[in-house]
Each structure stands twice: as structure tokens, then as C-alpha cells.
A and B are shown apart, each in its own frame.
Chain A
Amino acid sequence: MSFKRTLMSLSLACMLGATPVLAAQSTAPVESQAVVSHYADLALATYSDALTRARELHSAVETLISSPSEQTLQAARSAWIAARVPYQQSEAFRFGNAIVDDWEGRVNAWPLDEGLIDYVATDSYGEESDENPFYAANIIANPSLEIGGRTLDASQITPELLSTSLHEIDGVESNVATGYHAIEFLLWGQDLNGMAPGAGERPATDYDTDNCTGGHCDRRGNYLSAASALLVQDLEEMVANWKAGGAARTELTSKPTTEGLATITTGMGSLAYGELAGERTKLGLMLHDPEEEHDCFSDNTHWSHYYDAKGIQNVYLGTYSRIDGTLMQGPSLSALVASVEPELDQNLRQHLEQTQQAAQAMVDSAAAGEPYDVMIAPGNTAGGARIQAFVDALVAQTRVTEEVIARLELGQVNVEGSDSLDNPAAVQAQ
């Protein structure tokens, strides 16, 4: 809800400020509508790449299930890591586009109570939670469950069971039954190394019905297959949303142009600040808890954060490096800001680059044997400082994003005094 209000205030700010901008732009090289349109093209390309990688992941998963071995398990894990590259870059399209934000929980919900899905080590995970009656439900081991006076028939593990019955069951967000992180858990298992190096070590035999470890290998295979098939379906839906005539593109491009620009900045600021800097990064630093990292099973958090930040930079610069190596470029918000105030554009570009450098430092650290959950360990001052530098860069970047939003208002500040126009209730009520 707070996000919607931000969108509203930004939309108004930009709408109100737009007239002089657009008037001044009649001879300028960058047209606002072209910026919005190119942004939609970037979204289509990014989600299309995410879909391609998800299909490859599903294929690797099917191979693992039919021929379980350490090799096929590693191949599936590699496919998952590759799938994260385009998807994380797509997250800059989430906030601001209601169609994406409403859908996102199906594919990238986090954090999750993994005990809902499969066996867990109860000594570290525990057996119950204040918030979640399904905390340790273990669907894979239990074809039928009775929790809180409710019986759940899970005898057949299908995409429908996961998406309609299990996901967010009982209204609890951490009951994540679908998406990247559910698949990640099924490929890696819990990371039981605490704050020492090392990711989850689920054996391939967890999928070997002849030499089954962990029990219920057939059901585990069914679950993994259903989850990766669902991911493909969900991404197909999102790709369609961004094609010509698709719902997300239509909604975006039918807005007044300046609202479209506000959508871009809302996505940039909300992802950078509240979500990435706060929820996904700073919290882990404060809690020193190995579960408190975005990709906690695979220890791939450094890359996920890197590409999340990269997506924000893409959106501002109007660029995207596709998975086939081609580079997309087009009319950008950056060029639009530069046409109004070159120094401000330069400032935001620099901040976006500084954020990338801070993310790169986390990536380098992981490559040198100190991944995210080691960096956040209590007493790891240097590791903590690397994470904090990333948070600080994102916060600073958000402040400049706010300056861009304010700058686009130009001479309209007094219009804000017309308070009857700024009515967040209108948006919240939807």
C-alpha cells in the first residue's frame, strides 16, 4: 500500500511538472513517450530471457528426476543460477507496475518456511512458529495433512496443488510453495553450514527412487517438476503481458506519459530502498542469521543482489545485455534527465555505478571463499562493512532518484498546495 501511495505522489509530481518539461522538449532529442515505450521493450526482453532460462531449468530438472546423479543435480543447479541472471534484472519492473507486483509473489516469494515443503533439520530450524501453523508441514512426506482443524489432500502433487492450495496457505506469506526459492530449496536443501562457507548439500539420491534418501523421493520429484513447470507458465504469462497488446504494456502506455515516467522511478526507488537495501540486505546484517539471505540454500545471494541493482541501472540508462550477448539500447530516462539538468543525470549515473561496484565487491568476496552468509557473521567486521557499503550505496542512490523526481516537477511546486489533488485514497481503494 505504501508503494501505491508513492506511485501516486510521484505520478502527480511528474504529471504536474510535465507540461513545461514536455513543452521544452518539443525540440529535444528525447521524447518522454519513447522513453516509456523503450522501457516496455526492455521489460519484454528481460522477461523473455528469464523465460528461456526457466525452460532450460525445467529441462534440467526433468533430467535430474529421470536420471538422478551428482552430474544431473549439478546441471540443474547451474541452470537455476543462470535463470536468476535475467530474472533478477527484471525486478526493476516490479514496483510501479501493478500487474507485475501482484504476480511476483508466485515466482520470487521470500523468505520461506521451507519446512512446509520437505524435511528440515529441526535442531536449527525448530518445529513451530508463532506465525505459521504449516511451519513444518512437510508436504512431500504427508499426502494428507490435518492442521488447525483443516484437512488438506496432497496425495497428488500437481502444479494446481502448489499454486492454488499450498502457496501462501492459511494466509501466511512465508508459506512459499512455488517459485525460484522453492525450487532452490529442492535443489540444494538447507544450508547447514551456519555462518561457515558452504551451501546446501542435498544429495542427488533424494530423487533416486531406487536408492532413496530423505524419503518419498517420488513425491519430491513430483514436487520439483511441478514447481519448475509452474515457473515456466508464470513467466510465459508475464512475457505475454509485455508483448504488443499485452496487459502490462497496455496499462503502462495508456497512462499519461509522465505517469509512465513515474512508474519507472517508482520501480527504481522502491526496489533499491525498501526492498533490496532494507528487507533483503540490512536485515541480514543486523540479525547475523544464515537464513536471512535471499538465496540462502544456494549461497547465490551476491549474484542475485548484483543483478537486482543492475536491473535498476538498466532501466535508468535504457540498456540491457541480453543472454545471447546482444545489447539493447534506446531512449532513456537518463537522456531525458540530462536534457533538463545534465549534472543531476551525471550524479545518478555515478551513484548507480557506485552501487554496482559495491555489489561487485560482494561478488568478489564470494568468489574468494567468503559468501554472503559468512560476511554477515557476528564479528566479521570487514565482511559486514562490504555489505553495509552496498546498503549505503543503495540508500544514496535512492536519494538522488528522489531528486530526479523532484526535478521533473520543475516550476510546479506550488501546485502541490492544491491538496485536493493529492488523494492517495483513490489509489488505495483499488
Chain B
Amino acid sequence: MHNLTRLGQLLASSGVLLAGITQAAPVIDWDAFNGSAISQHVQPRYQQLAQQSQTLAETTAHWCQARNSDDFADVQHAFENSLQAWQGIQHVQFGPVQLLMRNYDIQFWPDRKGIIGRQLNDALQGPTAGTYDAEFFRHASVSIKGFPALERLFYDKGALQTLQQQPNACALASAISATLAKTAQALYSEWQTQSISTQEGTDDDEAAPSDLPDLSLDLLRSLVQSIDVIRDGKLLNVLGKDQASARLKRAENWRSGQSLRSIATNLEALQELYSGGGVNLDLILREQGATAEADEIGALFSQARSQLEGMPDDFAPALQNASTYAQLRAVSVTLKALDEALYNAMPSINAQLGFNSRDGD
């Protein structure tokens, strides 16, 4: 903890730094930031999720009528498009998606205790098997409602044969994909119909301990905290200490071979949130005089994304190869720097992000 002490020593000079900053910084237009982020980032991405999920639902229902091996790839392709649309908005874990915990309905992950497999088997073979109506989903565990359950049904060993031979499997896959489509459409609608000023990000009545509007704080948390989730949960947890200790099955979307593609999608989305159209954080930081910080963040986003370019979608081959393994390690180093750069920038805009749900892990 010596670094804390070192920082404490730095405080002695902090008073000197104050005056200039407070006098020079213009007032931040958080409403404009919120408006841009919602209309140019959040809403279009939920629209994309709604459209792709609808296609997935229709493709699955159609395929389940004949169950031909020849066009099963169409189902998997629709799944992958829908999954990537989700990965493009996964970082938004507030607002409508939090209502009724629909974020978990869409994706329960990680599944540290193998609950999805167990509960999926129950749903397929247990006493209530075969009836997958709205009432079933109203009471069902989040583990069998979303993408991870569908991924098992579409990509597990012998998945095609199971879907062809067991009527319950296709019925459940159709029902899950239809439920997903309905949820995605509802989320898109809710983001459209609620006015920005009334969109509550947090689910309690307590005021945020900051002057920032709740919605702005939620957007900032979505941006900043997601980098750590990607680095820790999606990369380092799989990479392990060294190549020999890497664990593919800890990866998100390993069954569908989409793990690295999902990370690339996440980063593309987060960079858009950071510096995409309209009033964004990049612009705000520059207005506040934090140009160097803004430059660094932008450069690190680009660096991380370029390090991922040329990588396979699937984690498995990347783990087998020493040079791609090293390249993924390099991505994690970049993400750490990006994570730090984002946190370092928060004081410039007077943002106190507070406790997050991963504290205590």
C-alpha cells in the first residue's frame, strides 16, 4: 500500500493545482451528452438487436419445420448476427434492460457452476418439458432464457442431431429465440418512448452523490467499467498465467467460436460511446482542458482494436498458437492502460463512479 502513501504525499501540493482548473473549466452540458449518447448510440444499437433477434426467431421457427441439415448453417448465422448485436450494446446495463432484470434474461454469464446445462436438461426432459409458453418463461431461471442457452442448443456436440430428433429441443430453441426477439423489441421501444429526462438509470430512489445527472453517470459507468470486465472476465480469465494454463471453456461464447469477435464488437461499441457523433466524452474532456487524457484514451482504443485485427473469431486457435497468445496478452496490457486512462480522466469531469456491482468479487 506504499503507493497510497506516495499519493498522500502528493496531496500536499494539490491545493496549488485547484484554482486554475476551477476557473478555466466551462460548465459541462450533460443533457447534450445524454441526448447524443441515447439517440446516436443506445437507440440504434437496440434497434439492431431487435432486428437481428427477430431474424433469428423467424429463422429458427422456419428451420424447425423441416429440420434439414443442409440449411442449419442459416440458423447459426442468424444466431451469430443476433449475438453480435447484443455484444454491441451489452455494456448498457442500466435503464430498461435492468427492469425485471432483463439483462440477465438475455445473457447469464459467466456460469461458474454449470447451472445452464443442468437447468436446460431439466427444461428439455423434466416434468414440465414440452410446454414453453409465456407462463413457462415467466417462472423460468434466467439461465435458460437467453443467448447462452441458445448457444448450447445450436453448438453443443451433437446439437444438430438433438434438434432434429428431439421435438422439445427445437420447440425450446424456437421459444427462447422468440422470447429474445420480444425482449429486444420491448427494450428498443422503451428507449424510444421514454423521454431522456425521465430515463432513470439507477433502480433506487437515492440521489447520486454527484452533481452529474444519473443518466450521465450510468453512461460513464457503462464506458469505464466495461473495459475492466472485458480485460478481466473475457480475456485474462481465459488466458491464465501462461499458455499451458489457458482455459478455453472459461471464455464467453466459446461454443459458437465467437469469443474474440465479441470482444472486438465490445471495443468498437465502447469507442463509439467514447468519441462517436455529437457531444461525447472525448469532446467534453477536451473542453475541460484534459486534451492529453483524451488523446491517450482515443489512442489506446485504436491500439486495442488494431491488436485484435486479423485474429480469428474463435478463441481456440488463438490459444494454440504462441504468437497469437502473446498478441492477446498485449491486448490485455493495452486494456489495462485504457482502463487506467479512463479512470484518470474522471476527476476532470468531476465524476465519482461509486461502488460497482463487481466490487466484492
Contacts and interface: CB of A to CB of B under 8 A. Distances in A.
Contact of A286 (B11, B104, B118): B104
A95 B359 contact: yes
Given A269-B355, A415-B14, A429 B3 contact: yes
Contact of A255 (B1, B142, B344, B345): B1
A273 B4 contact: no
Interface string B1-22: 1011111101100110110011
Interface in B89-109: 101, 104, 108
B210 interface: yes
B158 interface: no
A190 to B, nearest CB: 13
Interface residues of A, number: 78
Nearest to B232: A1
B153 to A, nearest CB: 16
A430 B11 contact: no
A256 B8 CA distance: 8
A270 B6 contact: no
Nearest to B341: A425
A211 interface: no
Interface in A387-430: 392, 395-396, 398-403, 405-407, 413-430
Interface in B236-272: 240-241, 245, 247, 249-250
Interface in A9-27: 9, 11-13, 15-16
A399 to B, nearest CB: 3
B350 interface: yes
Nearest to B118: A126
A226 to B, nearest CB: 25
Q: How large is the interface on B (under 10, 10 to 19, 20 to 34, 35 or more residues)?
A: 35 or more
A1 B357 contact: no
A98 interface: yes
Q: Decide if the interface of chain B is mainly helix, strand, loop or mixed.
A: helix
B7 A415 contact: no
A292 interface: yes
B340 A9 contact: no
A395 B348 contact: no
A194 B7 CA distance: 52
Contacts of A259: 4, 8
Contacts of A396: 204-206
Contact of B206 (A278, A399, A422): A399
Interface in B299-351: 336, 339-340, 343-348, 350
B361 A274 contact: yes
A211 B114 CA distance: 35
Interface in A360-383: 378-379
A251 B355 contact: no
Contacts of A287: 108, 115, 119, 141-143
A405 B204 CA distance: 18
B25 interface: yes
B203 A418 contact: no
Contacts of A171: 240-241, 245
Interface of A: 1-3, 5-6, 8-9, 11-13, 15-16, 95, 98, 111, 113, 124, 126, 128-131, 135, 171, 173-174, 251, 255-256, 259, 269-271, 273-276, 278-279, 282, 286-289, 291-292, 378-379, 392, 395-396, 398-403, 405-407, 413-430
9 contacts: A3-B359, A6-B356, A8-B4, A11-B7, A173-B112, A274-B355, A402-B209, A406-B352, A413-B350
Given A287-B142, A424-B340, 19 more contacts: A1-B228, A1-B232, A3-B361, A9-B352, A11-B4, A113-B113, A171-B245, A251-B1, A273-B357, A274-B355, A289-B115, A398-B355, A399-B202, A399-B207, A400-B206, A416-B346, A417-B18, A419-B290, A422-B347
